[in-house]
Amino acid sequence: MFDSENSMMEPPIETLLDIVGSKFALVVLAADRARQISEYSNKLSGSSSGYLPAQITSMSGKPLTMALEEIFEGKVIPEIEQDAPEADDSESA
């Protein structure tokens, strides 16, 4: 399913970092999506949580693994926020 010689993790962390761009962004994105998957599965018997179920078929039942697999398969796409232009310090002096 996944090919990697450098990592025991599937999907490979190196590939996930290439997709997302940074370790911090990967952690935040995966944690947020895992929380959504968990919330959805906890609310199945009750009211709607407003979150989508896992968008992949996974051998793992763990929300974090499913979130990482979704990122790898392109089902979850990171939003890259544009930084506001910084004010030039020389103008204020």
What pLDDT is stored for residue 4 in this prediction?
44
Taking residue 63's Cβ as centre, other Cβ atoms within 10 Å add up to 21
Query: Residue 34: pLDDT band by 50, 70, 90 thresholds?
Result: very high
d(CA 13, CA 19): 10
What is the pLDDT of the chain when averaged over all its residues? 77
What pLDDT is stored for residue 37 in this prediction?
87
